[in-house]
Structure 1
Amino acid sequence: MIVATAGHVDHGKTTLVKALTGTDTDRLAEEKRRGMSIDLGFAYADFGSEWPIGFVDVPGHERFVRNMLAGVAAVDFALLVVAADDGPMPQTREHVAILDLLGIEQGAVAITKIDRVSPERLAEVRVEVAALLATGALRGAPVFPVAAPSGEGLMALRAHLMAADRAWTGRSPHGHFRLAVDRSFTIDGAGLVVTGAVFSGRVQVGDQLLISPLGTPVRVRSIHAQNQTAVLARAGQRCALNLVGSDLKRQEVQRGAWIVAPMAHAPTARLDVRLHVLESESRALTHWTPVHLHIGATALSARVATLGDRSIGPGSSGLAQLVLDQPTSAMRGDRFILRDQSGRNTIAGGFVVDPSGLVRGRSKPARLAQLSAMERPSVADSLAALVAVTPEGIDLARFGQAWNLTAHELDSLLQGLEIQVVATASGRLAVAASQWASLSADICAAVDAWHGEHPDSLGPTDAELAAQIATRNASAVFRSALKALLADGSLVRAGLSLRRPGHSARLDAEDVLLLERVSAILQTHGLRPPIVGELATALDMDLPLLLEFLLRVSALGHLVRIAKNRFFLPGTVVALGELAETLAAEAADGLFDAARYRDRSGIGRNLTVQVLEFLDRIAVTKLIGDRRAMRS
C-alpha cells in the first residue's frame, strides 16, 4: 500500500512520517536549512505485511503544490494532517480538493500538535475537519489526535494503518507495464535509476521497456520494489528501476517521463476527458481556457476545448478535450488535475475518457456518443456500447491500447461479447453482431432488388451496391461483408459485378450474338484489346452503331469501359487489378510506378496510363506522389 500525506505547510507531516517510519524524508540541504519540505520525500515502514508500506511525504506550501501533485497521482491511502493549533488552512482545503478530484477514497486524518492546545480546541478542530470532509471522498475518515514528540496517539494511528494495509486487496496487475517517473538519478557503478509509482502491469529484471513519450529503448538491470530488492514489481507498488540502454541519456529521463512496455507507448497531445470544476470556483470554465495539466508525475500546459456546451460551471462536470503543448503518455481512466494559467489555484480535475482525441469532429453527435460509451466503467460494457454507436466498426488495436489491454486480455474480452471481428489490411475491427447480420441481409436484398429492376444486367458493381444501401464503398466493414458473402456462396462475382447464385442476365438474341463476337475479339488480344475503331473494322460495323451497343452492354456489366475508346472484358480488368496487387506486394513499401506496371504487363505506356487511372477511379489503387498503392 502507498500512503501519501496531505495538508498545510508546517502542520507536521514530515515529523509524523518520521515518527511512523524512523525516516526523515527531508533529504535536500535547503529543506534542512529552511525546516520546510520543498520536494517529495519517501519512506517505508514494515508493519508486518508481505511488503512494507510506502509513504510519500508531500510539501504543504502553496508554492510547491506542483511537487505535491507529482506524488499523489497513484497512491492508495491519504493521510490528511491538520495542526490542532491552526485547524484547516488554505492548503489543507486545496489538498483535500485534489484528493477528491483524484478519487482517493481511503484515508485517515491525523490532528497533530495536540500537546499545544486545550481539549476544547481539539474538539473545535474535530468539528472543522468533519465539516471540511463532509461532502468529499474522505467523508467519515477516522480521526487520530497525535503528538509526535511524545508519541501520544501514534499507536492507534499505526494500528489503523496496519489494518488498512491488511485489508488492502492491491491493484490488479492487468495491462501493460507503466511507471510514472518522479525521481531520476545516477549511482556509480550502476548508472541510471528512476523511481515512481507503478500504474499498471508488472515488470521483471531483463524486460525491454521504452521511455515515453520519447520512445528511447531501455532494459531493466535491477529492481527495488517497496524499498526491497526484487526480481519483479507490479501495479500498486513504488519501485526503483536501474535502467541501461545504448541510446540512454540522463536528460531524457526527468520527472514526468513514463517507463512503459513497448505496446503501451502511444504519445498523445489530445486527451478527451470527463472534467469536473470545483464548486469553490467563482466562474465557469470556458472554451479554450489555458491551464496547467498534472497527470501522473507530469506537468504540462494545455487548453481546454469544451465538447457540447461552451462552458462547464462551478460544481458541474462535462466532456472536454485537453489540447497539450507537447505529447505525453496517458490511458483511459488516468486521473488528472487542472490548475489555472498562473499555476497557483486548482480549478478542476477528472479522468481520461479517450487518450487519442480527434483533431476534427470532436464535438459532433456521433463522437459524443462514442465518448459516452468510452465512459462506461466496465471495459466490456464500454466496447459493447461503442460498437452499437459505430457502424463503421471499432479499431480493436486502438481500443485495446486506450484501455491498456494486453493481447490476451483483449481476446478474452471479445469471447464474452456478441461482436463480429472483421480482419482488414490495417488490423481488426469490431462490429456488433446484430449490425453485421443486418448489413449482410441488406447487401443480399439490394442485389436481389437490382436483379429485379435490371434483369439484363449481370449485377451491380461494389460502388453501385454501396450506393444502394447508403454505405461507403471504402468501408472496411462493407468490403469484409462482401468477402464473407462471396466466400459462403451468397454472392458471386462476375468480373466487376456482383450477382446472386442462379442469376443470368437476359439479353435479347441479337445482343447475345454480337456480345459473343465482341468478346471473342477482345479475348484474343489479351491485356491489350483493340480501340473501338479497330473493333468496328474487325466486326464490319458502323462505328456509331457499335459504340451505342458497347456503351449499353457496359452499363449492364458485360464489358468495362476503361477509357473513351477502350472496352475490356470484365475478366481482363480483374487480371489487371491482380497485377497491380502483385506489384504492390513485391515492393517493400507497397508502392509501384507506371513504368514497372508497363514493363510487367507489356501493354505500352499510353494504355498503362489509362488502365491505372481507371483502377484509381474504381478505388482499386490510389496515387501517392508518382507511385501507387492498393486500396483494397
Structure 2
Amino acid sequence: MAEEELSGKYVIVGTAGHIDHGKTELIKALTGVDTDRLKEEKERGITIDIGFASLELEQGLRVGFVDVPGHERFVKNMLAGAAGIDLVLLVVAANESVMLQTREHFEICRLLRVKKGLVAITKSDLVEDEIRELVKLEVAELLKGSFMEDAPIVGVSSKTGEGLEELVAGLRSLAAEVEAKDTSGVFRLPVDRSFVMRGFGTVVTGSLFSGEIGVEETVEILPSKLRARVRGLQVFNKSVRRAFAGQRTAINLQGISTAEVRRGDILTLPDLFLPGHMFDVQLTLLPTSPRPLVHLARVRFHLGTAEIMCRVHLLEGKRLLPGEETLAQLRLEKPTFALPGDRFIIRSYSPITTIGGGLIIDILPLKHKKRYSEKVLGALRTLTELDPRRTIPVFATDKGGAGMGEKEIVSRTGLKPEKVRGIVAEMEQKGLIHIISREPLLIISAEVAQELSESIISLLKGFHKTYPLRRGMPHKELQEKLLRRAPFSAFKWVMANLLAEQRLILEKEVLYLPEHQITLSPRESRMKEELESLYRKAGLTPPSWEEASQKLSGTPNLKSKILHLLLEQGTLVRLTEDLIFHQQSLNELKKSVYQKGTSGDRFSVGEFKEWFKITRKYGIPLLEYLDSEKVTRRVGDEREIIRKE
C-alpha cells in the first residue's frame, strides 16, 4: 500500500468488562473487524489476548479500539491493552449485569486515571425493558462518585443494531473532548504485540504514548538496549511515513528478531533513557482489597504492557490499609523503563487479583535505607507534583556534590534536551539550582551547594582549632578532602563563591577564615622571637632544623608549631628539607647579586660561593632560589643576571 500522511485527531478507546459480555461482537458491529485473531479464541468463543480495530467517526476524527479479554485468567492481557487508552467503553451484558471482572476492569481504569468513558449495555435484545432499566441502575451505582458518574449509558444489540447509532454519537462527543496528545515529547511506544510478517520480518504494535517516529529512524528497545531501524510504519492499517502520539501504530523493525523484542518492552530514541530496578511511587490500595498490604509484600507489578514481580517497601508505615495511600519504593525482580507520571497497577501474588496502583514519581532513586525519614518523605511529596521546576532540584540533591548532567536530567524526567536548558536557566534565576558548567551542562542543587559551603567552613574551623598557630589550611589539602564528595568543578564553583562573599580568604595557596587570629602565649612569643633571631643572625649559613631546635627550650611539638607559623608568615623560607633561611637574608642576597653586575652579566658557581663565603651545601639551593625569583637564570654551568632591582 502506498504511504500517506494521516491527518486529524486519533483517540484510543479500550473496552472493559466481564467475560462473554459481548465486547468483541460489539467492536465487530461498530467496525466490521473481528478482533479475535487467535485460533483458540475462535474455538472457545472468548477473547484471550488483545485485539484491535478502528472506526472513523467523522472527517478528521478516528478512534482505535483496543479489545481486551474479560476472563480473570487473562486480566494481565487486559492491563497490557489498557496502556495508553484515552476513553473506556465499559461493556455490561443486560442478561448478567455487573459482574466480578466488570468491577475489576473498572477499578483498573480508575487507577490508571482514564478520564472519560461511556457504557454499553449489550445483549439488550435478550431481556425485557424492566430488566434493562434495572441493569442501568446497577451500573449507575457502580459508577457513582467516579470519573464516569455522568457517563452515557446506552443499550445496544450487536445482532439487531439497536442503539449502535446512539453509541457512536456518544463516542463522537467524548472523543471530540479528549485533549490531543503532546507530540513534542520524547518518542515512547510500549510493545503489546511482536510477530513476524512474511516478506517484512519483525513487526511490533502498540499505542504511541508520546512524541513521534518516522521511517528510517533508529529506535532503542528497553530494557535490553538493543537497537533497530524503522523499516515501515502503519497507523490504522495504512502505511505512513510518520506516526504520532495517540495513534495505534505498527512498526516494521529491521535488524532485530521477534525473540529480542516482546510484549512489555518499550521502544524509544537511542541514548536517552536507562532501565531501572527500583521506582519511587505514590501507592493506593483499593478499598476492595481483601487485606492490608504489608511491608516487603511480593506483588505483581503492571506498567504499560509489562508484568514484573516486585517487593513493596512501604516508607510511611508497616502496612497499608484498604482505601489508604502512601509513599513506597518498588524493587523489581527484572528491569524495565518508565518516566515520572506513568501509572501502574499491582495485583496480589496469590490469589491473583487487582489490589491497587498508583503514580511513578522517580525512576532512578537511591535505595531508601531509612524508612519514615521526614527528609526523604518531604522530597518524595515534592516529586508527586510532577513539575520539573520542582523535581529537578530534588533529583540534583540526590546526586550530591557530583551534580547532574544534561543526559541524566533527560533520562530522569523525560524532557527533551532543548527543554532542559530552558527550565534549568529558569531554576537558576530562582536560586533553586546552580550551573557549575554550561558546556557540558552540570548543575548542583542550592541545598547541596549550601552543604558543601558549610563543609568547607567547618573543615577550616576544625583546622584552626587543631592548629591555632597556623595561618590556615593548604588549598590543595582542603581540595583533596572535598573531592571525596564533589568533583573539582563543583569544588571550584563553591570556593569561588565563598571567596567572593569574603567568607574565607586565600593567600599564597593557604585558606583561612577572616575571623581567625593567631594569638600567642608569652611562652610562645618568646620562642618565636628566639627562633627568628637565630635564623636572622645565621644569615646565609643557617643551622639545620635539628641543630636549631636543640638551641630552643620547649617541647618538640611546640617548636614545630612555631616553625610552621614563621614559615606561613613568610618570615622564614624553606629551600630544602633541611635548609631554612630568614627572609631578610634572602632579600639582602638579591640586592647583593644586583650590585655584582648588570643584566646579562654572567658568573660561575665558584664565583658565587666566593662572593658570599659559603659552601656548595648552601650555594646550590640559593642559586636555585634566585632562579625561581627571576633574579638569575641558568646558562650551561653559569648564571646570568636577568633583571635589575
Normalising by structure 2, we get a TM-score of 0.75
The amino acid across from 1:105 in the alignment is K
Tell me by how many angstroms 1:463 deviates.
9.8
The amino acid across from 1:324 in the alignment is L
Match of 1:274 in 2: 282
Which one of 358, 373, 377 corresponds to residue 368 of structure 1?
A: 377
Tell me by how many angstroms 1:216 deviates.
0.7
Which one of 28, 49, 56 corresponds to residue 18 of structure 1?
A: 28
Match of 1:306 in 2: 314
The amino acid across from 2:170 in the alignment is H
Show CA shifts across 1:112-133 (max 9, x none): 1111111111111111001101
CA distance in 1, matches of 2:383, 2:126: 52
Indicate if the aligned counterparts of 2:405 and 2:440 stay in contact, CA closer than 8 A: no
| Structure 1, unpaired ranges of 5+ | 523-533, 560-564, 570-632
Which one of 209, 213, 217 corresponds to residue 203 of structure 1?
A: 213
What SS class does the counterpart of residue 233 from structure 2 fall into?
Answer: strand
Is the deviation greater in 255-264 or in 212-221? 255-264
Show CA shifts across 1:484-520 (max 9, x none): 4457987554465214799998995655677899999
CA distance in 1, matches of 2:376, 2:12: 37
| Structure 2, unpaired ranges of 5+ | 1-10, 520-524, 570-575, 581-645
Query: Is 1:158–2:168 an aligned residue pair?
Result: yes
Which one of 474, 477, 493 corresponds to residue 485 of structure 2?
A: 474
Indicate if the aligned counterparts of 2:409 and 2:420 stay in contact, CA closer than 8 A: no
- Superposed, 1:77-476 pairs within 5 Å as 77-245=87-255, 248-342=256-350, 344-361=352-369, 363=371, 364-383=373-392, 395=404, 397=406, 398-417=408-427, 418=430, 419-423=432-436, 428-432=442-446, 457-461=470-474, 474-475=485-486
Indicate if the aligned counterparts of 1:49 and 1:166 stay in contact, CA closer than 8 A: no
Give the share of equivalent positions with the same residue, in percent.
35
CA distance in 2, matches of 1:105, 1:350: 15
Tell me by how many angstroms 1:395 deviates.
3.2
Show CA shifts across 1:25-60 (max 9, x none): 011111111111111000111222436311100011
Match of 1:39 in 2: 49
Distance 1:444 1:130, change over 3 A: same
What SS class does the counterpart of residue 421 from structure 1 fall into?
Answer: strand
What SS class does the counterpart of residue 269 from structure 1 fall into?
Answer: strand
Is the deviation greater in 49-58 or in 435-444? 435-444
Distance 1:541 1:408, change over 3 A: same
What SS class does the counterpart of residue 511 from structure 2 fall into?
Answer: strand
The amino acid across from 1:480 in the alignment is W
CA distance in 2, matches of 1:239, 1:192: 14
The amino acid across from 1:288 in the alignment is L
Indicate if the aligned counterparts of 2:469 and 2:565 stay in contact, CA closer than 8 A: no
Indicate if the aligned counterparts of 2:231 and 2:253 stay in contact, CA closer than 8 A: yes
Distance 1:22 1:400, change over 3 A: same
Tell me by how many angstroms 1:447 deviates.
7.0
Show CA shifts across 1:174-195 (max 9, x none): 4322110010112233221111
The amino acid across from 1:35 in the alignment is G
CA distance in 2, matches of 1:71, 1:229: 22
CA distance in 1, matches of 2:421, 2:91: 46
Indicate if the aligned counterparts of 1:386 and 1:394 stay in contact, CA closer than 8 A: no
Distance 1:241 1:555, change over 3 A: farther
Indicate if the aligned counterparts of 2:530 and 2:552 stay in contact, CA closer than 8 A: no
Which one of 507, 511, 531 corresponds to residue 498 of structure 1?
A: 511
The amino acid across from 2:494 in the alignment is A
Tell me by how many angstroms 1:320 deviates.
1.3
The amino acid across from 2:436 in the alignment is A
CA distance in 2, matches of 1:87, 1:557: 93
Indicate if the aligned counterparts of 1:335 and 1:349 stay in contact, CA closer than 8 A: yes
Distance 1:113 1:310, change over 3 A: same
Distance 1:62 1:389, change over 3 A: closer
Query: Is 1:59–2:72 an aligned residue pair?
Result: no
CA RMSD of superposed structures (Å):
4.1
CA distance in 2, matches of 1:163, 1:554: 85
CA distance in 2, matches of 1:516, 1:171: 83
Distance 1:285 1:453, change over 3 A: closer
Indicate if the aligned counterparts of 1:354 and 1:402 stay in contact, CA closer than 8 A: yes
The amino acid across from 1:93 in the alignment is R
Normalising by structure 1, we get a TM-score of 0.76
Tell me by how many angstroms 1:228 deviates.
2.7
CA distance in 2, matches of 1:359, 1:25: 44
CA distance in 2, matches of 1:268, 1:548: 57
Which one of 74, 77, 84 corresponds to residue 74 of structure 1?
A: 84
Match of 1:536 in 2: 545
